[in-house]
Chain A
Amino acid sequence: MARGALALLQGLLVLALAPGVVGLVRWLKARLQNRRGAPAWQPYFELRKLFGKEVVVSENASWLFRAAPYVVFVSTAAAALLVPVLAVPLPIDAVGDLLVVVYLLLLGTVFLALAGLDPGSAFGGMGSSREMTVAALAEPTVALAIFALALSAGSTNLGQIVARTMSDPAAALSPGHLLAFAALFVVMIAETGRMPVDNPATHLELTMIHEAMVLEYSGRYLALIEWAAALKLLVFFALLGNLFVPWGVAVVLTPAALALALASLVGKLAVLAVAVALLETRVAKLRLFRVPELLSASFVLALLAVTSSFLSR
């Protein structure tokens, strides 16, 4: 019962924290670019504003366009529930493992791409086609990178992977782990539409990937999509933070352990936000045709990670 309540609490926490993480990255980037920047909680105001706004939908849009934001949001939120955030093991672990997480995220991507095509605007189709190119190259890497961990843990269950790494700290520094971390980090950048793959801050329609798909959205639909995008970033941060560096995650449900888990989660999120902000400031956007090269490289890293884990098993 306590664990069930905790799973629910964990889900709510993730929903609440996600916009703040995006805001933190934006604020850090602004500081690094010599700008004052909006405060980290700005995305909350934006969500409230969008939920209060009227929805404008193209005459040419079908039911799919209206349904997609809910599918995207719910699938991403479901994936967020499955990811170890505060404590392991959770009862929900029985429902889904890493494969479920990966394909729940892909479900959202597919619906977003369909919704980009649906109203028939030139930018939407352009964004969808680019997003599918990126997704097709990124998705296998996500699965493969986590497989490298699953292989050493002997299970695809995310809770068990965390438990196994905690019981054997040396494994966190094994080549398999390190390579998998690098691969997942690169893929996280592509999947969440960040530099150098996509530029979340641009106003130039012709260069967009993620933003081009959602150009037609407004009001609560846009709010859901933005929130889902923030959730996706948090899911990847949680995967990177808790699967590879699991210390801090509560294994017993005592208030002290949970408080420590919360503090360590916030700390990990902050460290990753700084890493992303630094990276985004340091790099320029890749030429679109160079993106596959980057993603192939991360796939190779993931493959090496699996090989290494397999050999050292």
Chain B
Amino acid sequence: MSLPDALTTALAAAVPAARDVRVVRGRELHCTLPPDAVPALSRLLTGDLGAELRLMLASDRRAERGVFEAHYLFGRARADWFVHATAPLDAAAPAVRSLATRHYPASRFEREMADLFGIAAVGHPDPRPLVRHGFWPADWFPLRKDAGPREFHDDGQPFPFQQVGGEGVYEIPVGPVHAGVIEPGHFRFSVLGETIIDMKVRLYFTHKGTEKLFEGRRPADGVRLAERVSGDTTVGHALAFCQAVEAAAGVAAPARARWLRVVLLELERLYNHVGDVGMILNDTGFAVAHSHCFRIRERLLRLNKRVTGNRLLRGGLVPGGVTMEAPAGVDVAGEVDAAVRDFDEIVGLSLGNTLVADRLDGTGRLTLRTARDHGVLGPVARASGIDADVRRDHPFAAYAELAPRVVVHESGDARARTLVRVEEARESARLIRRALETLPAGPLAVEIDRLPAGGPAFSLVEGWRGAIVHWVLADETGALARVKVLDPSFLNWPALSYALLTNIVPDFPLCNKSFNQSYSGNDL
């Protein structure tokens, strides 16, 4: 559907309270509406129009406008339009009408807003803390502009885990400190014999106040921080941030930069997918495949170093373009093709092993229904039959011209999640070659000095874990007033619990590794 007309008409009919309706950047419909009208908007968009809630966030605008604001971003998977709604909230007692009973992701966004801004979600069925770890003073909301440093004390309260009763049911607590070199997270299993009947994850051990750290920075200084949101998703987050800044500034990156961005993003996808497949195979106990996948990953990391000067591809992006030229004297496409051929051989050898196949088949099955209900993203979603990929659905950089193949598998088990990664790695190699062959001449970047104050802007990027969203708002001086980061892990983590049901305890590491979600990107 074409964005403006039909949508504007439908909006006016269903949500008469919506004011200030305007089309921005050609594919976004922005509006302002009272908090009470949000459920009606949500019903309209998620009903007949088939959109989903992509992001929900709050911002503290008491200084300029005397209100808190809640922002809602809706988008449809297979159509390139978005609806961005802003609801001003009372400064003294901010509250939103909860959408939690309609969307599971909304329930998590609302809990996050409650913990970080003290915004109540009226009608929320499960208003437990999400980010709060029991050390924060009850009246302290860190993302409010006036939240200064405070003394932290343990409130001594146990974390309210779901209790499972019955004869022979016992709990296994695991973490937050693990034996391997991984990030901290606590897993609480309720187990009958060896069968998992419930598992709850407790995260936010690595809450660093990332979003707060963006505030007050110049746009160009935000890139370094965006690159570090989750160490393995440098390009994904940096690109989402740069594109959001570009959208806010109303500039487009030059053509050459857009093609080079594809190369960087696909290089990141490639090394992570190869590493992930290695880790999955290691958890089946097939260590030989693990060491070979990590050999190939190392080869790709060294290629990254030759391309950008950094093994994790840091420093390649800047708002307005890229910082680096296509590397001279390095046959990037040839190196990548050779690495992928190498990888294919290891994959063939591993998946042809009946014991490996037996471990992967049917393990950690995430049904299409559960995946949809949780708004799961990325390879995890595509392994459960959800045909969604931002690169195709909302093309950015040079993806509109590249037509990437979207890999979808139906079975939803660890095998499907492995296969999606394998096939995406191959596709990445093809995209890198195409991009380097097509690479148009021209400048590498345009200057973005300061951001115009006022309207929020956002950007979506298909990182290797799935859709990343960055949302930016500038202040009067052109610095960043609020940045919201959404890593796909935020939506994917809760689905893991459902994939585990009726699996056995010793298969948990395999299920978890086949999801491989970010702790840092979730905890922010």
Taking beta carbons and an 8 Å cutoff, which residues of A are in contact with B? 29, 32-35, 122-123, 126, 195-196, 199, 201-207, 281-290
Contacts and interface: CB of A to CB of B under 8 A. Distances in A.
Given A122-B172, A207-B509, 4 more contacts: A204-B180, A284-B359, A287-B507, A288-B506
Nearest to B513: A204
Interface stretch (B210-218, B283-291, B466-474): B283-291
Nearest to B175: A205
Contacts, number: 75
Given A285-B359, A286-B355, A287-B359, A126 B505 contact: yes
Nearest to B288: A33
A78 B395 CA distance: 71
Interface in B258-317: 281, 283-288, 290-292, 295
5 contacts: A199-B285, A204-B180, A205-B174, A284-B356, A289-B504
B172 A206 contact: yes
Interface in B480-518: 504-509
Given A283-B355, A284-B359, A286-B355, A126 B172 contact: yes
B291 A204 contact: no
B337 interface: no
B79 to A, nearest CB: 43
B171 A122 contact: yes
Contacts of A33: 287-288, 290-291
Interface in B165-198: 170-174, 179-180, 194
B223 to A, nearest CB: 35
Nearest to B509: A204
Nearest to B195: A289
A34 B359 contact: no
A28 to B, nearest CB: 12
A206 B506 contact: yes
Interface string B380-409: 000000000000000000000000000000
Contacts of A196: 285, 355
A179 to B, nearest CB: 23
B202 to A, nearest CB: 16
Contacts of A286: 355, 358
B353 interface: yes
Contacts of B173: 122
Contacts of A29: 287
A290 B358 contact: yes
Query: Across chains A and B, which 4 residue pairs bring their CB atoms closest together, nearest first?
Result: A285-B285, A284-B355, A203-B179, A284-B286
- Report which residue of B171, B284, B285 has the largest number of chain A beta carbons within 10 angstroms of its beta carbon: B285
Interface in B7-42: none
Contacts of A283: 285-286, 353, 355
Given A34-B295, A206-B505, A284 B179 contact: no
Given A281-B287, A287-B507, A205 B179 contact: yes
Contacts of B292: 34
A207 B171 contact: no
A87 B287 CA distance: 39
Contacts of B287: 29, 33, 201, 281
- Report which residue of A205, A207, A284, A290 has the largest number of chain B beta carbons within 10 angstroms of its beta carbon: A284
Contacts of B358: 284, 286-287, 290
Given A206-B509, A283-B355, A35 B291 contact: yes
A284 B509 contact: no
Nearest to A123: B172
